[in-house]
Amino acid sequence: MENKGLTKVDLIFEQIDNHEVLAKGFNMSKEDIIQEMLDSGLKGRGGAGFPTGMKWKFTAAEKNPEKYIVCNADEGEPGTFKDREILDRVSNKVHGGMAIAGKAIGAKKGIVYLRGEYRYLLPKLMIELESFHKMIKEIGYDFQIEYRMGSGAYICGEESALFESIEGKRGEPRNKPPYPTVSGVFEKPTSINNVETLVTAMMIIQHGAKNFIQYGTKDSRGSKVFSVSGDTPTPGIFELELGMTVQQFVNEFGDGDTKAVQVGGASGFCVPRKKFAETIIGFEGVPTGGSMKLFNSSRSMYNVLHNYLDFFAEESCGQCTPCRVGCQQLLKGVEKVKKGEAKSTYLNELMKLADTMKIAAKCGLGQSVGNAFKSIVGNFKEEIIY
């Protein structure tokens, strides 16, 4: 596997001449924009990693004249806070990325769904949006963006739950198919992209796919913003080239006593010290929406797991049984084992339950609870039992 080492870059937060990049983008044909995205190999930065060019291509192919670009700013994954920073510092690039995406798929409307916890940003964003609208009008391009607020539900980061919420309903995920590219918000073809993905798309238009693919690896192109927290002397937001190992990451950000790194938040994977050197951060190893939490040897991994399970039990929308009941049973199960009310072999039953949830849960929330559960229990069994 390729290993690029740890390199800091500064592209996402770089201030650019938005007017110039947009004029360039609007002058390209929609086929050319989509081809540029496909050539760049850009994968979605929210965590799931769906190729952005494909998403735009599918949405562009729909015949419906009314289409939407939705910007997913419902950043709720524990340990992720990069989208807030991006919106705070370079919202013009987010809005610009939406307009470029709009051109590519044939949408005239964009909606930003911003999590309720970030409402304090809204007054500033409204002012910046107004000048953005003014600017694209000057260029002679018709595209309107509006903001919708969330109200404290993690599940609304799931794309179809987010659409339900925009439509004024409970944020319960829909059955798929149909996928959003066919039937998204208001049942219209929709491309829903993460905040950082849209900024990266702007960057690709600006510098070209050829330059973009010089960063990262074959499976994980480009650079990405990481949210670093936990037991580290330097918590914060860092843009790094993709393709480093967890060991290289820990060498940079660890406190010298790191025993585990949770990559990708509560729905991600726990990497123990013995696997640091062999694990690549990216789609060929452990994928992440940016959340990187470091734990040193003073931390109980039981407490970490318990905290995550408590989080999922509260944030499960309750619609499907595998997730609603599964989250609660996993939580109760580890508590029982810890208290000695159940034998340690009960953990094997719980591992099977986590597998069942992965197959049977309706959406990404229930399907990914097992990631953290299995990687923490699998690597730190003694800490869970004793």
| Residues found near another protein in the complex (CB under 8 A) | 75-81, 84, 115-120, 148-154, 165-172, 186, 227-231, 235-237, 266, 293, 299, 303-304, 307-308, 311, 314-315, 317
Comparing CA positions, the residue from 119, 114, 115 lying closest to residue 94 is 114
DSSP 8-class letter at 172: P
User: Smallest distance from the beta carbon of 169 to another protein, in angstroms?
Assistant: 6
User: Smallest distance from the beta carbon of 323 to another protein, in angstroms?
Assistant: 15
155: helix, coil or strand?
A: helix
Is-cis flag, bond preceding 178, omega within 30? yes
The single residue listed with the structure tokens 């595998």 is: 322
- Residue 310 backbone dihedrals phi, psi, to 5 degrees: -60, -40
Question: Which CB sits closer to another protein, 281 or 309?
Answer: 309
The span from the CA of 359 to the CA of 368, in Å, is 10
User: Smallest distance from the beta carbon of 167 to another protein, in angstroms?
Assistant: 5
Question: Which CB sits closer to another protein, 51 or 235?
Answer: 235
User: Smallest distance from the beta carbon of 53 to another protein, in angstroms?
Assistant: 29
281: helix, coil or strand?
A: strand
The span from the CA of 356 to the CA of 375, in Å, is 16
Question: Which CB sits closer to another protein, 146 or 278?
Answer: 146
The span from the CA of 293 to the CA of 91, in Å, is 26
User: Smallest distance from the beta carbon of 39 to another protein, in angstroms?
Assistant: 33
Core vs surface per residue 311-326: b (16+ CB within 10 A) or e: bbbebbbebbebbbeb
Question: Which CB sits closer to another protein, 36 or 85?
Answer: 85
Question: Which CB sits closer to another protein, 119 or 218?
Answer: 119
Question: Which CB sits closer to another protein, 204 or 263?
Answer: 263
User: Smallest distance from the beta carbon of 119 to another protein, in angstroms?
Assistant: 4
User: Smallest distance from the beta carbon of 158 to another protein, in angstroms?
Assistant: 13
Question: Which CB sits closer to another protein, 18 or 267?
Answer: 267
Question: Which CB sits closer to another protein, 11 or 292?
Answer: 292
DSSP 8-class letter at 173: P
User: Smallest distance from the beta carbon of 38 to another protein, in angstroms?
Assistant: 32
Which residue intervals of the chain are DSSP H helices? 18-27, 30-40, 52-61, 82-105, 122-139, 159-166, 195-207, 209-212, 246-253, 301-315, 321-339, 346-360, 364-379, 381-385
User: Smallest distance from the beta carbon of 26 to another protein, in angstroms?
Assistant: 29
Question: Which CB sits closer to another protein, 101 or 153?
Answer: 153
DSSP 8-class letter at 4: -
Comparing CA positions, the residue from 382, 380, 371 lying closest to residue 47 is 371
DSSP 8-class letter at 45: T
Comparing CA positions, the residue from 188, 171, 172 lying closest to residue 180 is 188
